[in-house]
Amino acid sequence: MLKIQIEVTDFNNSNFLINSQFNNEWNVIQTTLTSMPLHLKASSQSGIEGNPIFDPIGTNEFIENNLVREGWSSHIPIPKAYQFLGKDIDCGKSGVILEFQFSNYPFLLNNLLRSELFFKSKIHLNSQVTNLVIIITKGKMFPASNSTLYYEQAVSQLTALTKYKVFHVPIRLVGLFEEFEQNINIVWSIYEKQRSRNIIEQKQGQCIISQGIKPTRRAIIRIL
């Protein structure tokens, strides 16, 4: 019975930085992700209402809660002078910024821009300067809300920007995936209403994910 699997792509020598300075922080993130059941919810999109799709809120909550128990800080305030790029950082510890990027794809560039600003300006976040950024997103295989970022898309964007040295902050991009045609542990979240962030119930279960009819189509999730 499988849980989440991960893939990583490193930019600006982040792999060497992790191996030399932030191996403990990475190990905690990796253990958290690979112990996580797949979080799903019912789609509210017209035409596929009720169908299982990736649940970003439940996923965020699981990762955040586990990291806080391991001594990480969450919702780290951004200094007021820089809040034109957002109010807070998802999680951080010892100079490592962790961002959950499951929202619309343009927000990746916002996170990249502000991370580059923190890195170059040596702004203190949670009493530490930024040395490394880890961004977590989902694989394309998962049915999800329209226009949300997926790992393969993020790899393409960051690769192109790296080629022309648009940013210099070390980044590890992490993608969440699952195996096809296997029993997968899930958490099904029920929300107060459509588009609400308030989870009123969570149920554990299992699902099987099958490949789409065409290679370019999202996978099909069947709840057991």
pLDDT averaged over every residue in the chain = 92
Confidence category of residue 3, pLDDT binned at 50, 70, 90: confident
Query: Quick one: what percent of the chain has pLDDT higher than 90?
Result: 79
What is the distance between the alpha carbons of residues 152 and 76, in angstroms, rounded to a whole number?
A: 28
Cβ-proximal residues to 69 (8 Å cutoff; 6+ apart), any chain: none
For 64-79, how does the pLDDT look when each residue is reduced to its tens digit (9 = 90+)?
A: 999 999 999 999 999 9
DSSP-derived secondary structure for 173-204: EEEEE--TTS-EEEEEEEESSTT---EEEEEE
Domains of the chain with bracketed CATH:
5-223 (3.40.91.20)
For 13-54, how does the pLDDT look when each residue is reduced to its tens digit (9 = 90+)?
A: 999 999 999 999 999 999 999 999 999 999 988 777 889 999
What pLDDT score was predicted for residue 50? 85
Identify the burial level of 94 via C-beta atoms within 10 angstroms of its C-beta, where 0-12 means exposed, 13-18 middle and 19 or more buried: middle
Confidence category of residue 1, pLDDT binned at 50, 70, 90: low
Task: Over range 207-211, report the average pLDDT.
Answer: 93
- Check whether 193 has a pLDDT greater than 90: no
Q: What is the pTM of this model?
A: 0.94
Task: Over range 186-200, report the average pLDDT.
Answer: 84
Task: Over range 190-205, report the average pLDDT.
Answer: 84
